[in-house]
Structure 1
Amino acid sequence: MFSSSSYERFGGRGRGRGRGRGGKGWRSAAPETPRSKSPPIGPVLTTIHDSELEVDQVSSSLARITGLEDVASYNWLRAKEPTILTPGKPPKWTPTARPTKLAEDNPNGTYYRDPNAAYFPSYPMEPVVRSIFEARPDFNAQEVDVFGCGSTFGNLLRFARNVETEKPFRFLVEVVGETVFFIRRENSPKEVIADVRGYGHRFPEANTTWDADLQSSDTHQRIIRYQLGPLHTIIRFEADGYLAEKVPAKKTSASLPNREVNEDFLMSALAGNTISTHTPKHSDSLKVTRGQESVPQSTVFDLKTRSIKKKNHDTTVSEQIPRLWIRQISFFVLAYHDNGLFRSDEVTVRNLKPDVARWERDNQGDVRKLIGLISRIADVVKATPERKLEVRYRNGLGLELREQVEGVASVLPDDLATRWAGQGHRAESTDVALGNGSVDGAVGLEHDSMEIGVAQDEKIFDDVDDDEYDWDTKEDYTACSMESCNYCGHCSY
């Protein structure tokens, strides 16, 4: 058993952040804690409206995802100090054969909107980059055009598609070397979600299983790369699980050489012992432990639960397609329940790869708008003296590109930023002029695309990693109750 403090820190469910599969998000274990106010924000540099986005900047032959590749992965572990295991591995799909009545999701856990920021607020993107260099010490960072998370890219895609939403979003933008980083930003790194309802945590807990050497895992994070049209792109996202029968028999993983993990090894982590730690300079301690193996992206699935009452007019699958197109996930588990009773014949595993490819073909205009939008943001940030800015969306006001206020931490600690900026080279064949609208001559790798979409059940938050949240429109300083987190720009002391 884990201590109550560890339980609260990691969401109280052994699976990381809330996924709202059949509920309304996550309920805070400390309801008396008021929601943090919006962090301060700088003056507007320019505003982008969806009506301004051009669809003819990118040819239709380039407006697609190609060259999908696994890069790295990591699991957040339950430990006394921030600890990741890399490579990581998601839980295995192990469905129950009998009808199962489940209790609703735990109302007493602390469910973070952004677990990566909550677990390591100093530099939420640092574990991602550390994992890449652990997996690929010679990784060519200079050929990466844009680097972000599935949540931020999902927000940009909704804006490009003119999908109306009243919920604002914000993210930081920073150039490191040749790469434009998009960094998700909530009001506070430990921002929580209240009033969880449904079975979005109980169901995966009952139907997926962590391997023996991963029992201390809290969440599995994946890093993939692909070309989004002409843009060399890296995406980080959380995976719900994987299908063991889809793992190739002769090549089951992308293992790192001479890296062994056993139960004693992981127990030492839980006890707070030093195990293959890496304490980066100029940041809080991040323990990086060595994992055994990962699984191919082609085996990963996303999961949602829905009430059986909605089955006849459910649009979950079609609505999930854009989201899973970004993450390049083929398999989708959809589980219907009758007041918490799940029957095996109402739980399906679907291969939606053809549906995702069809969505991509049918929505070329929106894909071109997304590529143009990312390029325009990159143009603006590269023209700023500090090579940093912040983006805020508010309904009816467009996408505001603003100066960053003083005190906001850089995307990476100095040593890691220096390594990223100096490692590798930019080949001429891939040196696309990011943001100038020129994509002539850009080459994409052949790859079958895939897709998916987003529906809601019982007023849920479909996926914490993808949700847009209400922001306090007053530009107050946040009081996140942390000492110098470097996240908000104006910590309380």
Structure 2
Amino acid sequence: MADTKRPHPREAWISSDASVSSTAGSELVCTYNWKNCDGAKIHVPGYAPIWQDIPLPIRLPKDQGTYFIDQNASRVPEFPFEPLFRATVSMNPSFRFDDVDVLVNRNSLRKLLDFSTGRRQDSFRINLHLVDRTLVVERCERSARELIRGYQNAGFGRSFEGAFTKHPAGLEDSAAHHRALKYQLGSLTCVDRFEVDACYQQKEGDDTEVLTSAMEQLSMGNRKRSYQQRTGNSTDGTNLAAEIKTAKVGKPKNMGTIMPQLWFGRTPWLIIGRHNDGLFEEVKITNTGSQFGDWEDKQQANLRKLAAVLAELREAVEANGGGNCVAICEKATAPPVIGVFPSTVARKAVPNDLRRQLWNSTSSS
């Protein structure tokens, strides 16, 4: 128990011996779209909004309104990973998490990578659960939503994304597209969940590919499913995934902060809209997937440290008897330190019915 309370300086982490590379590829676990409605309902499979070529220049308003920071935690606070689990049961019924070492959000991986590199960042907290041998890492934000009033400091990112993307037929009521990939992070088998901004197709295509997807509407919370029409096979679309950013003309984006986001999500396309006070004059589309190998070579030491951090976080929870823990990194601490502490909240990470379906063990502890 004492070990779980001891802070861990960054220098104390021993890098993993296993190399970290994206060349082995990834496996699609599931996709889903949150519905833009009251309650917690998702479309399964999901599909990202499709990128639209719009004539330039175009003037767009500043962002304004209430937006999700973490839509999963906001809609399903008791079980933030439940939509992923239910989408997996629907799309990938033979999938099991028994060989998965870590289930995590991309946002948490980015924070832990910053910690591993010693990069200065805001304080953060993550919740840690152990389900059989799988470490479940839950994102923990002060608020799962943010209010943007459209004042002087507001940006244009959400307006740009809304103007240049379109949800495919049958998914017009979508609020966001999420997907989960399984891949190796050194010796660890990880399932990483993240949001995809858009589907970018180099060649002109039509939406019929999306219309042939098998879609299902699932309701969270009440554990009931209501089915929609559609038959056919779902589309992976990993090679079409795109991240959308905006930047002022003459102010280049810092690729050092963007590449981890793209790499962890195996997102090959980066779309940057450049503007002068909301007048968008240029859109640059880059195949960043071709840069993954060079980036991971340069970041190899830090990626191995990240793998070691995740492994020791799992060991810390095991040392706590498998009970829930919280990991906290304080901004004011130099060098960066993560403290792991037993949680005072007795809460499961997975609903019992889903645990029975997705782990071969029948234990519900």
TM-score between the two structures when normalised by the length of structure 2: 0.88
8 A contact 1:156–1:370 mirrored in 2: yes
* Aligned residue number for residue 209 of structure 1: 166
* Aligned residue number for residue 350 of structure 1: 286
Q: Can you list the C-alpha shifts for 1:224-253, whole angstroms capped at 9, x where unaligned?
A: 11111111110100000011346999x957
Establish whether residue 405 from structure 1 lines up as the match of residue 362 from structure 2.
no
Establish whether residue 393 from structure 1 lines up as the match of residue 329 from structure 2.
yes
8 A contact 2:41–2:219 mirrored in 1: no
8 A contact 1:82–1:286 mirrored in 2: no
Displacement of 1:316 after TM fit? 2.7
Structure 2 CA distance, aligned partners of 1:422 and 1:295?
A: 26
Establish whether residue 152 from structure 1 lines up as the match of residue 108 from structure 2.
yes
Establish whether residue 126 from structure 1 lines up as the match of residue 82 from structure 2.
yes
Match of 1:327 among 244, 261, 265: 265
* Aligned residue number for residue 298 of structure 1: 239
> Quick one: which amino acid aligns to residue 25 of structure 2?
G
Q: Can you list the C-alpha shifts for 1:379-405, whole angstroms capped at 9, x where unaligned?
A: 111222243211111124311101111
Structure 2 CA distance, aligned partners of 1:319 and 1:330?
A: 15
Structure 2 vs 1, CA of residues 202 and 416 (structure 1 numbering), >3 Å: closer, same or farther?
Answer: same
Displacement of 1:418 after TM fit? 3.0
Flag the structure with higher strand content. 2
> Quick one: which amino acid aligns to residue 17 of structure 2?
V
CA RMSD after TM alignment: 2.7
Displacement of 1:140 after TM fit? 2.5
Matched position secondary structure for 1:342 = strand
8 A contact 1:82–1:287 mirrored in 2: no
Q: Can you list the C-alpha shifts for 1:237-293, whole angstroms capped at 9, x where unaligned?
A: 0000011346999x957976xx467xxxxxxxxxxxxxx6566xxx54565655763
Displacement of 1:138 after TM fit? 1.0
Matched position secondary structure for 1:133 = helix
Structure 1 CA distance, aligned partners of 2:264 and 2:83?
A: 21
Structure 1 CA distance, aligned partners of 2:204 and 2:342?
A: 46
> Quick one: which amino acid aligns to residue 87 of structure 1?
P
8 A contact 1:113–1:193 mirrored in 2: no
Q: Percent identity?
A: 24
Matched position secondary structure for 2:356 = helix
**Structure 1 residue ranges (4+ consecutive) displaced by more than 3 angstroms after TM superposition:** 193-196, 245-249, 251-256, 276-279, 283-295
Displacement of 1:146 after TM fit? 0.6
* Aligned residue number for residue 367 of structure 1: 303
Displacement of 1:139 after TM fit? 0.7
Displacement of 1:356 after TM fit? 2.1
Matched position secondary structure for 1:143 = coil
Displacement of 1:125 after TM fit? 0.7
Structure 2 vs 1, CA of residues 173 and 260 (structure 1 numbering), >3 Å: closer, same or farther?
Answer: closer
Length, aligned pairs only: 350
8 A contact 2:169–2:211 mirrored in 1: no
Matched position secondary structure for 1:354 = helix
TM-score between the two structures when normalised by the length of structure 1: 0.66
Q: For 1:48-447, what aligned pairs fall within 5 Å after superposition?
A: 48-55=8-15, 57-59=16-18, 62-65=19-22, 66-106=24-64, 109-165=65-121, 167-188=122-143, 190-193=144-147, 197-245=154-202, 259=214, 277=218, 283-285=221-223, 287=225, 289=227, 293-310=234-251, 314-343=252-281, 346-397=282-333, 398-407=337-346, 409-422=347-360
Displacement of 1:74 after TM fit? 0.2
Matched position secondary structure for 1:373 = helix
Displacement of 1:53 after TM fit? 1.9
Structure 2 CA distance, aligned partners of 1:253 and 1:229?
A: 34
Displacement of 1:85 after TM fit? 0.5
